[in-house]
Amino acid sequence: GQNIDQPTEMTATEGAIVQINCTYQTSGFNGLFWYQQHAGEAPTFLSYNVLDGLEEKGRFSSFLSRSKGYSYLLLKELQMKDSASYLCAVGDSNYQFIWGAGTKLIIKP
Amino acid sequence: DSGVTQTPKHLITATGQRVTLRCSPRSGDLSVYWYQQSLDQGLQFLIQYYNGEERAKGNILERFSAQQFPDLHSELNLSSLELGDSALYFCASSAGGLETYNEQFFGPGTRLTVL
């Protein structure tokens, strides 16, 4: 079957760095997405990886290893507003998005 | 503002009823996706339309149906509603449908409460 695993919840300190991992098993692969979702709001796009390696975008970076079925989202210089759920999603060969359950990130002062 | 609009924002109804949720995609986007998100749960993909045609189907119940109209807006119809159908329903749109790696832009969602 198809599956995406992420930690359910993580806690980090303001100003620190946190890494959110995502592992996946899907039928085919057409890219991996990271989205941010604040409680009760719509998800917003953060990053997209289709090739192995690191993509950096400001305070956020995303890494992909297709051979390992693994990705991580790295958030630096954490701010209180980064408290949200982070969703990992994979596009499979059937034109479907497979979504992880999301990682709830709690930032403490 | 993602450019995707959804109406209504909130909907309260009773079990056994039928409701219609409406979505207008971003200008120029041909693909529309529907998702269900129950409280503290992940996004469940329901269905995708591309330029009026059904493109992919996820875990959509038989009581649910959708369509995309010639002007590209989409409607999600939920019938014989049950308490468990209470959730946030998101619509998203993207530029294309033939590749899966198009960024999806999400609407603000419709919160459905079934009493």
What's the pLDDT tens digit per position in B78-106? 999 999 999 999 999 998 655 556 788 99
8 Å CB contact of A99 and B100: no
What's the pLDDT tens digit per position in B27-85? 989 999 999 999 877 889 899 999 999 988 888 999 999 999 999 999 999 999 999 99
A89 contacts on B by Cβ (under 8 Å)? 43
Rounded to a whole number, what is the distance in Å from the CA of A104 to chain B's nearest CA?
A: 10
Cα–Cα distance list, A69 to B18, B36, B52, B99 (Å):
41, 26, 33, 20
Tokens of A74: 């790295």
Which residues are CB-contacts of A61 (< 8 A; sequence separation ≥ 6)?
A47, A54, A55, A73, A74, A76
User: What pLDDT, on the 0 to 100 scale, is given for residue B101?
Assistant: 61
User: What pLDDT, on the 0 to 100 scale, is given for residue A93?
Assistant: 79
Question: In this model, does residue A40 exceed pLDDT 90?
Answer: no
| Mutation for A interface: B31, B39, B41, B43, most A CBs within 10 A | B43
What's the pLDDT tens digit per position in A48-76? 999 999 999 999 999 999 999 999 999 99
Question: In this model, does residue A2 exceed pLDDT 90?
Answer: no
User: What pLDDT, on the 0 to 100 scale, is given for residue A98?
Assistant: 86
Rounded to a whole number, what is the distance in Å from the CA of A60 to chain B's nearest CA?
A: 17
The band of B112, judged by pLDDT with boundaries at 50, 70 and 90, is very high
| Mutation for B interface: A66, A96, A98, most B CBs within 10 A | A96
Q: Is A88 part of the contact surface with chain B (CB cutoff 8 Å)?
A: no
Cβ atoms of A47 and A88 closer than 8 Å: no
The DSSP element (H or E) to which A54 belongs, if any, is: strand A53-57
Which residues are CB-contacts of A37 (< 8 A; sequence separation ≥ 6)?
A43, A44, A84, A85, A86, A87, A102
**Minimal Cα distance from A49: which residue of B?**
B101
Question: In this model, does residue A82 exceed pLDDT 90?
Answer: yes
B41 contacts on A by Cβ (under 8 Å)? 101
Angle A43-A103-B89 (CA atoms, 0-180°, nearest 5)? 35
* Percentage, residues of chain A above pLDDT 90: 81
Q: Is B52 part of the contact surface with chain A (CB cutoff 8 Å)?
A: no
Which residues are CB-contacts of B96 (< 8 A; sequence separation ≥ 6)?
B30, B31, B50, B102
User: What pLDDT, on the 0 to 100 scale, is given for residue B99?
Assistant: 58
